[in-house]
């Protein structure tokens, strides 16, 4: 036991001594690992920060699942319904049904959803495109007819009201709440009256009762809310419900719940992941590209360790032979070079973690003006302890792997051949 401990101490002493003798070369190797870990932490924080901001922004104003008025099992064509009967032999033209698509018995569906464990809230609504006119300007909008209290339980719009009150839609028979982008473009403020029209509906003069800002430009610049009855009149869809919006206890299970609700009610549904599939796929692609970049930088750092370790082995072949001749075993030599790789990796990883934390701090304070998918005044970053753990783990992995070849080569040196001058 004491002999093994003595050999270990000797290996540690020799390994650290060689590291110190080549401070410049080993410092370069440490720098390569540090850079790799720094980039890993900074890029991960940036990517996850933007993705998290986007997801939070979408979920705060959008339902987790939507049931639309499209029936999954529509009626069969007329001829198929009377197949093998004497009613019809051929149909030259079948007129489309006059009745508009709608969700049948929406109140019963909402009541049933209240008993589903995964569902936190549900609300009936109607949606369509309209046109606002004010002060000689016109603006196309996405009109949402809602029942305020039920809708606020699904998508808490009232939290983002900057002027007026969303609750006024319950008392104001012809009220309208608009996004900040719509209000800015048309020059609207609370109390103004706008002229609203929609294809197939009845033109109305609506009073602005609230202006909201969800900090999602596509929503703030196009959306407007009114009462359910007012929207049905404006869109020409009396007593129609075109969608049921649902909030879940856990948004991540939305695809599974959506599938179950489609089977349960027979209407086409869509989870928030499906609604934003294009953006989420972009994030996935960006994560893949960032992973490749980080892996490339870490590999460069690994090759730096590999090159330096091989150089040390070649230069120290005679010294290794002498050590072998005085009793050091192959595994002791192997341990010396593996130890050097581990020390370089740990020092580089620790420095990378420290610099990465500083980078996240200063990036989070960096002032930017962005109004794309989300609105923000600062650089979007997210700090997570996992980043630092991953950085240190990857650095250690690179250091060990890069040291294996030179360590194995050094352990295979035969002292007799070196001392006789046959190799070296």
Whether 325 has a pLDDT exceeding 90, the answer reads: no
Taking residues 303-317, report their average pLDDT: 67
What sections of 236-329 are H helices per DSSP? 254-265, 272-275, 277-315, 317-325
Query: For residue range 15-48, what is the model confidence (pLDDT) as tens digits?
Result: 666 666 677 777 777 787 888 888 888 888 888 7
pLDDT value, residue 126: 92
pLDDT value, residue 423: 47
73 burial (CB, 10 Å; 0-12 / 13-18 / 19+) is: exposed
Whether 244 has a pLDDT exceeding 90, the answer reads: yes
- The DSSP code sequence of 377-392 is EE------HHHHHHHH
Residue 129 pLDDT level (bands cut at 50, 70, 90): very high
Closest to 227 (Cα-Cα) out of 110, 155, 103, 125: 125
Q: What is the pTM of this model?
A: 0.68
- Residue 129 CB coordination number (10 Å): 12
Residue 297 CA to residue 303 CA, distance in Å, equals 10
Residue 100 CA to residue 95 CA, distance in Å, equals 14
Whether 268 has a pLDDT exceeding 70, the answer reads: yes
- Phi then psi for residue 185, to 5 deg, are -70, -35
Taking residues 171-176, report their average pLDDT: 87
Show contacts of 414-420: CB within 8 Å, 24+ apart. Answer: 414/321, 414/324, 415/320, 415/321, 415/322, 415/324, 415/325, 418/317, 418/318, 418/320, 418/321, 419/318, 419/321, 419/322, 419/325
Residue 251 CA to residue 248 CA, distance in Å, equals 6
76 burial (CB, 10 Å; 0-12 / 13-18 / 19+) is: exposed
Tell me the sheet residues that pair with 124.
244
Work out whether strand 137-146 and strand 223-227 pair parallel, antiparallel, or are unpaired. parallel
Highest mean pLDDT among 92-96, 384-388, 417-421: 384-388
DSSP helix, strand, coil percent of the chain (3-state; round to 5): 55, 20, 25
Q: Which residues fall within 8 angstroms of residue 170, CB to CB, at 6 or more apart?
A: 148, 149, 227
pLDDT value, residue 220: 87
Query: For residue range 350-367, what is the model confidence (pLDDT) as tens digits?
Result: 998 899 899 888 887 777
Whether 183 has a pLDDT exceeding 90, the answer reads: yes
Residue 67 CA to residue 262 CA, distance in Å, equals 8
The share of the chain scoring above pLDDT 70, in percent, equals 73
Whether 259 has a pLDDT exceeding 70, the answer reads: yes
* 327 or 394, which is more confident: 394
Alpha carbon distances (Å) from 349 to 224, 234, 394:
51, 63, 8
pLDDT value, residue 232: 92
* 160 or 216, which is more confident: 160
* Helix axis angle, 23-61 to 277-315, nearest 10°: 170
Query: For residue range 203-235, what is the model confidence (pLDDT) as tens digits?
Result: 999 999 999 988 888 888 899 999 999 999 999
pLDDT value, residue 123: 93
Domain boundaries, the chain: 2-59+279-419, 100-265
Q: How does the average pLDDT of the chain come out, rounded?
A: 79
Q: For 283, how many CA atoms within 13 A lie in the half-sphere containing its CB?
A: 18
Taking residues 371-375, report their average pLDDT: 62
Residue 119 pLDDT level (bands cut at 50, 70, 90): very high
Whether the CA torsion 400, 310, 410, 313 is positive or negative: it is: negative
Taking residues 101-119, report their average pLDDT: 88
**Least trusted range by pLDDT, from 7-21, 46-60, 300-314, 357-371:** 7-21
H-run or E-run covering 196: strand 193-197
Work out whether strand 367-371 and strand 223-227 pair parallel, antiparallel, or are unpaired. unpaired
pLDDT value, residue 314: 62
**Least trusted range by pLDDT, from 25-29, 86-90, 120-124, 394-398:** 86-90
H-run or E-run covering 326: none
Taking residues 282-299, report their average pLDDT: 76
H-run or E-run covering 240: none
Q: What is the DSSP letter of 138?
A: E
Alpha carbon distances (Å) from 322 to 16, 252, 319:
18, 63, 5
């Amino acid at each position: 036991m004491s002999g093994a401990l003595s050999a270990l101490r000797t290996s540690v002493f020799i390994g650290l001594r060689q590291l110190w003798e080549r401070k410049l070369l080993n410092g370069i190797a440490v720098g390569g690992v540090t850079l790799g870990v720094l980039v890993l932490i900074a890029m991960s924080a940036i990517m996850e920060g933007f993705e998290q901001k986007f997801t939070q922004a979408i979920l705060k104003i959008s339902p987790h699942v939507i049931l639309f008025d499209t029936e999954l099992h529509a009626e069969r064509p007329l001829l198929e319904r009377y197949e093998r009967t004497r009613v019809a032999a051929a149909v030259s033209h079948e007129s489309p049904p006059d009745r508009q698509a709608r969700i049948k018995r929406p109140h019963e569906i909402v009541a049933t959803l209240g008993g589903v464990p995964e569902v936190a809230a549900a609300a009936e609504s109607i949606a369509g495109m309209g046109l606002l006119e004010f002060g000689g300007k016109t603006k196309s909008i996405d009109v949402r007819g809602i029942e305020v209290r039920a809708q606020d339980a699904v998508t808490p719009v009232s939290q983002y009201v900057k002027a007026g009150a969303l609750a006024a839609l319950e008392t104001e028979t012809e009220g309208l709440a608009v996004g900040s982008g719509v209000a800015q473009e048309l020059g609207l403020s609370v109390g103004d009256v706008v002229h609203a029209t929609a294809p197939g509906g009845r033109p109305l003069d609506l009073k602005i009762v609230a202006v909201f800002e969800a900090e999602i430009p596509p929503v703030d610049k196009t959306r407007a809310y009114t009462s359910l009855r007012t929207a049905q009149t404006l869109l020409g869809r009396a007593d129609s419900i075109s969608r049921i919006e649902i909030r879940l206890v856990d948004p991540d299970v939305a695809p599974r719940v959506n599938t179950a609700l489609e089977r349960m009610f027979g209407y086409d549904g869509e989870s928030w992941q499906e609604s934003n599939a294009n953006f989420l796929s972009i994030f996935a692609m960006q994560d893949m590209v960032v992973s490749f970049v980080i892996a490339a930088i870490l590999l460069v750092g690994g090759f730096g360790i590999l090159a330096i370790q091989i150089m040390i082995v070649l230069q120290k072949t005679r010294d290794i032979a002498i050590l072998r001749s005085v009793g050091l075993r192959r595994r002791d030599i192997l341990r010396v070079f593996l130890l050097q790789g581990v020390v370089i990796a740990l020092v580089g990883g620790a420095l990378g973690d420290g610099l990465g934390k500083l980078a996240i701090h200063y990036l989070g304070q960096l002032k930017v003006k962005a109004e794309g998918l989300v609105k923000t005044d600062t650089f979007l970053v997210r700090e997570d302890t996992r980043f630092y753990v991953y950085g240190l783990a990857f650095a250690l992995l690179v250091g060990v792997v890069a040291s294996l070849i030179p360590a194995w080569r050094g352990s295979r040196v035969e002292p007799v051949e070196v001392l006789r001058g046959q190799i070296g």
